[in-house]
Each structure stands twice: as C-alpha cells, then as structure tokens.
A and B are shown apart, each in its own frame.
Chain A
Amino acid sequence: MPETRQIDIDYVARLARLALTDEEKALFSRQLADVLHYVEKLNEVDVDGVEPSAHAFEVVNVWQDDVPARPLPTEAALQNAPAVRDNMFVVPKVVDEA
C-alpha cells in the first residue's frame, strides 16, 4: 500500500454536492488525510488467512417473508416535500439522463 493518497478535495466536494470555501477546502483536506492516515494503521495487521468481512458479527440471512404490509398514506409521504404537484415530488428539471 502506498503512502496516503493526496485528496482531491474539489472532486470529493463535487461528488458530495458541497460548495466549500477555500478555508474549508484546506481544513477538510487536512482532516480527511488524517482520517485516512489513521485507518491505514490497519495495514500493519497480518490478515493472511482471514476471510474478508463487511460486518463484525456472524449474523446472516436476516429476512422477512414476502407478505405485503400497509404503505404510508400519500399525504404523510408528501408532507415534508418542498413542492408537490399531482401527488408527486416536484424537483428541478433534471438534465442528467444517465
């Protein structure tokens, strides 16, 4: 594993839809680099022969049977929406088609 990668703070901010000031960019770059540096301590642990896991607990197959329950009433679903028309959420016209 190479040294901690330089964080492209503009790219990360754009992916997160955050508009940052130059001061914030400097601050968050440093903080994110510190976080990554801290996590990289894990690279020092010998994990040969350990099965990768996304969870700390040996719990699998948590599911329910396919039995429908009651949905949320539409009025409740829409009550916090900034704008509603025809029982749908109004959003700015979407240009990105992908």
Chain B
Amino acid sequence: MVSNNISGEYEAVIGLEVHVQIRTRSKMFTRVPTGFGEPPNTLVDPVVLGLPGALPVMNKAALDAIILTGLMFECDIAPVCKWDRKNYFYPDSPKNYQISQYDMPICANGRVEIELPGPSRNVMGPHRHVRLTRIHLEEDVGKLNHFANDSLVDLNRAGTPLVEIVTEPDMHTADEVFAFLTALRQAMVAAGISDCDMEKGQMRCDANISVRPVGQQTLGTKVELKNLNSISGVRNGVDYEIRRQIAALQRGETIVQETRRFDMEALISTPMRTKEEAHDYRYFPDPDLMPVRVDQAWLDRLRARVPELAFDKQRRFFEQYKLPYTITSVLVPDRALSDWFEAAVDGHVERAQAIANWIVNDLLRELAATGQTLADCRIQPSHIAGLVEAQESGVISSKIAREVFAEMFQTGESAAEVIERKGLRQTSDTAELEKWCAEAIAGKPQSVADFKAGNEKAINAFKGPVMKASRGKANPKLVDEILRRMLAEM
C-alpha cells in the first residue's frame, strides 16, 4: 500500500473528474462509426469536422447509457436536460466549442460503494460510499500528435459519447481513489456501458487534491492533477501529489492553485502551462439541439437493465452460497465468471463451495495456461457439479478428480464420460482391495509394530503401496477401513 506513510498531521481531500467513453457504434451527435486504432481521419464527417451548416442529432443509445449509469449509482435523473456549448479555441475541437451540459446535467447526486484494503488480502476491508456531484454527457475531442515544429490533428475520437462523472471532495488517500475507480469500472463494464480500458483512453481521470492540517474545516488550496492514464498511474500520481503538498507546507511554503501533469515514468508531477483566460468557456445553450425529456416509462425500461452491482452480488454470494470472502473476491468482479459460477451451481447449491473452488483454482489456472477465455473454453458449467458429485460419492478420488477435470477441460466431455472412457472409476471391489492391503501389511512389519504401539500415522505407510498397486483407483475410505480391520485382527 502506498499511502501508509502520509503524515498524521495533515489530511488530503480529493475529488475526481472521471471521463468514460460510452461504447456506442456511432458518435454522440452524428452517425459516423466510433472506433479506436483506425487510420487517421477515417471516422469523420461534416458534423465531426465542424463544417458550416452541419447539424448535430443525438444518439439515443448514449442517452440510455448515461441514464443507466445514473440509476446504477442512485443519482437523481433530471426530468428535463439541455445541451450547452463550451467555447474555447483548441485544434482538438474543430468547431471551437464542445457540446456539453453545464447547468442542467442529466444526473445529479448519487453515490458509489467502495471497499478499502483490509488487514490482509484474505480479509474483507471496510466499505463506504463516495458521493457523486453530477454525471453529464458530452462529446469527446480529437487527438493531437505533437512534433518538434507542429502538431497533427486526428479527429477519429472527436464526437465519441463521453460521460463525465464528478465526485464530491470525499476521498482522502490514494487507496480510496483506487477503490473508487475500481468500483466505477466494474459497474460500467457489468452494465455494458463501456470497457473502461484506460490504455485505450476509454476511462480518464483528473484529480483535484488539497491538503490541510487535521481538524481544519476549510479546504486547502487545490491542485488539479492531469494525465493519470492507468489505474496504477492514478494511485501513484495521487500519492505523489499528497506527499509533495505536505512537504511544501512543512517547509513553510504555500500551495499554488495550478494544474499539474503527472509523469508516469519519472513518477513526479510538474506544473502545466495554461493561459489565463483558458477557463472562461462562455457556456450558452446550444440552439441546434432540443432538450431531452425523461419520462417514467423510459426510466422503467432502463431500470430493468440495471445490473446487480458487485458488492450486492458479493453479499448475496455470502448469504446464498456460503462462500468465503477470498472466493467471492475472485468471482464477483468478473461478471462473466460469476455468471458462469451461477450457471454451474444451478440446482446444486449444497455443493456451491466445492464448485466455486474448482472454478477459482482449476478452471482459472487452465484458462490462463491455455490463453483461453470463458467464452471459448469447452468445459460446460453444468459439468462441474457432476465432477464434484463423482468425488463426493467416492466414484473417484480427489487425485483422480484433477485428472478428470483436465480431460473435461480439453474435450468438453462430462465427468461421467471421462471416467467411463478412461476407466477411472474407483475400485471398491473388497476382495481386490483386501488382497492389496494384505500385501502392503506383509511388506512393512516395522510399520505394523509402530501402529500397534499407538502411532496412528504409521497406517499411511500401507496406503501408498495400495494406491500404487491400484494405479490410484483404490477407494481411499474403503482402504482405510480394511487396513484398520486387518491390523486390529493381527
């Protein structure tokens, strides 16, 4: 954890502005396709280019997505919202304004549940909520590529639907910021709103950070930290900035209100050059776009699409399946995996823990080893319960079960099919087991004496040879019973 050493005399206060690209097929105000990594300026049209006479038309799917976002985070959804122009000159925005929402955002208030680090990775940490100020919808801008003597503009990204999520100054450590972004990303991915891949710029984060002496009510001077382009970058950047400000205060310096850029390689922040009037955006209502009215029927349709949030699912998994924290913390963040688990456990709730163990340990290991995803792997969710059942009823030993699982993973067969085909059924033929047990006892007189003298563990000396003779198929429970009976009779 990076935040442990922060001085107890000062506390940091952090608010975030998070931009998330909505995964629509076409752009926010025109039907040009969205995309990443396409050749420059191939995803453009007169609206994106800001050509005279071009008019914007809203993308219905983007509106659905932001209202869904608001519903997930318990926001108040405005019955009416409008669009405003944010005016500034910068070549990433060819019409010299960005269409955004100023004083009537579509979502207000709301909150996001987060989990802070626990005492260890195996123990659930404390939960709390980070309050949201607002969420609004806007259009993304183009991308600038800087060279020694000029800059090149690619407008493929311009016009991509973008939600801006603004939090209250509610966080105090880099760990809280990390937990917030993790929770936000999980929810957005689970709802299918965005993939939130920070490397592709689908989620971007600016942090407003100030520090103050503990106990002081008024906020310190805030610094805006930009260029936090990965989740670990956010954590390192916020942590660095808190330390920098505390160190400055301790030296008797004052914090200057400014925008700083975090350098992900050097792990330091440096002031950014900004122009004085850069922040006079002269917002005014966009006359090209009519307002949005959200009625109850629309809200109801979207409410039906709100996914179960990760922490709600985790609480349900504790309750319904009696799973331990360590298992839920693997299953729950990955919606595909938790869905797979629930399909596997359907009708077999009493075996939920054993089924979850196979998924979290063996299935994930095999997927990682073969570079497959759940979607393309051959093993069926319903087959896991069959494997657990075969093991519990003594048809196969736990050692053979692993072999069966590996085979099921490769072929997509059920456990029963693998056991039959490979002849792995455990031997419960008493006569045969007795013969192997008698041979094992005869071969180890010293162990017989040890066992008779009260050394319980000596019995294990006979089990190895029996398993070897049966090629792993001897029923261990029966073998134990037979050995004890034979030894008692000696």
Contacts and interface: CB of A to CB of B under 8 A. Distances in A.
User: Do A and B form a real pair?
Assistant: yes
B358 to A, nearest CB: 40
A96 B275 contact: yes
A8 B24 CA distance: 43
Contacts of B89: 17
Given A68-B31, A98-B259, A54 B291 contact: yes
B59 A63 contact: yes
Contacts of A59: 290
Given A66-B26, A89-B152, A71 B44 contact: yes
Given A67-B31, A89-B152, A98-B272, A78 B41 contact: yes
B274 interface: yes
A60 B152 CA distance: 38
Interface residues on B, range: 35 or more
A34 B24 CA distance: 46
B273 A96 contact: yes
B32 A71 contact: yes
Contacts of A98: 259, 272, 274-275, 278
A92 interface: yes
Interface residues of A, number: 38
A89 B261 CA distance: 26
Nearest to A60: B293
Given A55-B291, A77-B44, A87-B41, A64 B31 contact: yes
A90 interface: yes
A87 B461 CA distance: 76
A4 B44 CA distance: 43
B57 interface: yes
Interface in A38-60: 53-55, 57, 59-60
A91 B91 contact: yes
B478 interface: no
Given A54-B286, A72-B45, 10 more contacts: A17-B89, A63-B63, A64-B57, A68-B25, A69-B31, A71-B44, A88-B152, A92-B150, A94-B90, A94-B151
Shortest Cβ-Cβ A-B pairs, 7 listed: A54-B285, A66-B61, A88-B152, A69-B31, A63-B58, A68-B33, A89-B153
28 contacts: A15-B277, A54-B287, A55-B287, A59-B290, A60-B292, A61-B292, A61-B293, A62-B58, A63-B60, A65-B60, A66-B62, A68-B26, A68-B31, A68-B33, A68-B34, A69-B32, A72-B32, A74-B42, A74-B44, A77-B44, A88-B41, A88-B145, A89-B152, A91-B152, A91-B153, A93-B148, A94-B90, A96-B275
Interface of A: 11, 14-15, 17, 53-55, 57, 59-69, 71-72, 74, 77-78, 85-98
